[in-house]
Copies of this chain bind each other. A is one copy, B any other.
Amino acid sequence: MKTKHAVFIIAFFILMSGSAVAQFGAAAEPLPSWKDGTSRTTILEFVDTVTKEGGPDFVLPAERIAVFDNDGTLWAEKPAYFQLLFAVDRVKALAPEHPEWKEKQPFKGVLENDLRAALAGGEKALLDMVMTTHASMTTAEFEAVASEWLATATHPKTGKRYTEMVYQPMLELLEYLRANDFKTYIVSGGGIEFLRVFSEEVYGVPPEQVVGSSIKTKFEMRDGKPVLLRLPEINFIDDKTGKPVGINQHIGRRPIAAFGNSDGDLQMLQWTTAGKGKRLGVIIRHTDAEREWAYDRDSHIGQLAKALDEAKQQGWLVVDMKKDWSRIYPAGK
């Protein structure tokens, strides 16, 4: 027994030493799809700084919260938010039951394949349509409908599944942060239940770490079984000033790192970086018209103007997709 004990003690110290970690299946270089340069370095240095025990900017693991916008930050958002394309398909599928939609925007535009007309009503109309087509069913029924769509629908330009249009460098970043004891959250203007259908499998983000827009739900008993019914009524819009509100409601703790790509993320970046100690604010800028899309100030979807101006004043990192990323989408997809 004594020997066993001694071996244990020795092993314990070896385990704790960096050399053993380096020796055994040591970490490959982190963030392989990020090219060498300021963006990659800034991220690596931030993580080193806040995880360095005894350092002046050390952050306890429990407080290492990183929040990520989804549309345009973790996956693409052109020609329109993917959830909107899902809603379009739902409108078409449900149209026979709703003859009034033929005369009513945004449904009319959708049915006439005129997305521009459908979108003319702005974000509120957009969310209305999304929410309306997502309601009047149980949460379980919605999950089934959304899963089915994600498993079968393909993007009009790339022909890929939508879940294949996630950004490989961001997948690596999520993984890298979690390997450094960060809790990674999605904080999206998209629907919370829609995101949860794929967030765990695709991003490694479990449902309880997804914050998003929502419609109201109602508990009721059906044939002696409890269900949650999705009501056609907006509960919360997790965009712009709503993002810090959603973060506070769900997480209850200020993040130390925030990643966004549009003016919808401005307040989330402000809220995150206004906290004490070392903070990281990052904007993913769409600059790659060849491999992805290039857009900013004049884009209807994913408009980036105010947040880009403020990035300079605040010292937020602006990632240039074209220059900083060696790959956009995961390999072989």
Residues of A in contact with B (beta carbons under 8 Å apart)? 1, 4-5, 7-8, 10-12, 14-15, 19-20, 23-24, 62, 65, 139, 183, 192-193, 196, 200, 206-210, 214, 217-221, 225-226, 228, 235, 241-242, 244-245, 248-253, 267, 270-271, 274
Q: Is the CB of A270 within 8 A of B226?
A: yes
- Residue of A200, A220, A221, A252 contacting most chain B CB atoms (<10 Å): A252
- Chain B residues closer than 8 Å to A4, beta-carbon distance: 14, 19-20, 23
Q: Which residues of B contact A226 (CB under 8 A)?
A: 244, 267, 270-271, 274
Q: Check A14–B23 contact: CB distance below 8 A.
A: no
For A228, list chain B residues within 8 Å (CB): 244-245, 248, 271
Query: How long is the Cα–Cα vector from A90 to B274 in the complex, in angstroms?
Result: 29
Q: Does B251 contact A207, Cβ atoms closer than 8 Å?
A: yes
Alpha-carbon gap, A30 to B225, bound state (A): 34
**Extra inter-chain contacts (20) besides given A210-B252, A219-B244, CB under 8 Å:** A4-B19, A7-B14, A8-B11, A8-B20, A8-B23, A10-B11, A11-B12, A62-B206, A65-B208, A192-B252, A214-B249, A217-B248, A218-B245, A219-B271, A226-B267, A226-B270, A226-B271, A226-B274, A228-B244, A228-B248
Within the oligomer, what is the number of copies of this chain?
A: 2
9 CB contacts below 8 A, A to B, read: A4-B14, A4-B23, A11-B15, A139-B248, A206-B253, A208-B209, A217-B248, A219-B244, A228-B244
With contacts A251-B207, A267-B219 taken as known, whether A225 is within 8 angstroms of B274 at the C-beta atoms is yes
Nearest chain B CB to A189 CB, angstrom units:
14
Residues B11 and A253 in contact, CB atoms below 8 Å apart: no
User: A225 contacts which chain B residues (CB < 8 A)?
Assistant: 274
Q: Is B207 a contact partner of A219 (Cβ separation < 8 A)? A: no
Report yes or no: B14 in contact with A253, Cβ–Cβ below 8 A: no
